[in-house]
């Protein structure tokens, strides 16, 4: 995993902080303080791209609907294909929640 290069106390504390959030409103408050609007938009966009790729959308449609660059789409696709299944895990959980 690439993130292993960053593994340590600081990253553990960040993840623990995220895991301590209880609901969407707490997420909004925390991320508003910890990240720039651009960083938050980039993360949200990547998740949207992953969902669209998983749903079979073409690059052209993804660019048009998400505003993501083809470079971003390629990076996300590489993670979906060769990554650690983080996107897949989260998207499956989101889909299960939507179905309930």
| pTM, two decimal places | 0.89
| Confidence tier at 3 by pLDDT (50, 70, 90) | confident
pLDDT of residue 96: 87
| Confidence tier at 98 by pLDDT (50, 70, 90) | confident
Average pLDDT, the chain: 95
pLDDT of residue 99: 76
Average pLDDT over residues 73-85: 96
Distance CA 74, CA 98 (A): 27
pLDDT tens per residue, range 9-44: 999 999 999 999 999 999 999 999 999 999 999 999
pLDDT at 72 over 90: yes
Q: Which of 84, 70, 71, 76 is nearest to 53 (CA)?
A: 76
39-74 core/surface letters (b: 16 or more CB in 10 A; e: else): eeeeeebbbbbbbbbbeebeeeebbeebebeeebbe
Alpha carbon separation from 70 to 2, 16, 58, 73 (Å, rounded): 22, 33, 11, 5
CB 17 within 8 A of CB 30: yes
Tokens of 75: 């990076």
Average pLDDT over residues 34-63: 97
Q: Which of 87, 7, 9 is nearest to 46 (CA)?
A: 87
């Amino acid at each position: 995993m690439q993130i292993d290069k960053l593994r340590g106390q600081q990253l553990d504390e960040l993840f623990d902080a995220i895991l301590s959030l209880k609901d969407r409103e707490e997420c909004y408050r925390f991320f508003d303080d910890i990240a720039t609007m651009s960083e938050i938009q980039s993360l949200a966009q990547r998740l949207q791209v992953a969902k669209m790729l998983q749903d079979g959308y073409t690059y052209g449609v993804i660019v048009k609907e998400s505003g993501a660059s083809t470079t971003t789409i390629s990076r996300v696709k590489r993670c979906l294909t060769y990554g650690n299944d983080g996107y897949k895990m989260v998207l499956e959980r989101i889909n299960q929640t939507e179905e309930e």
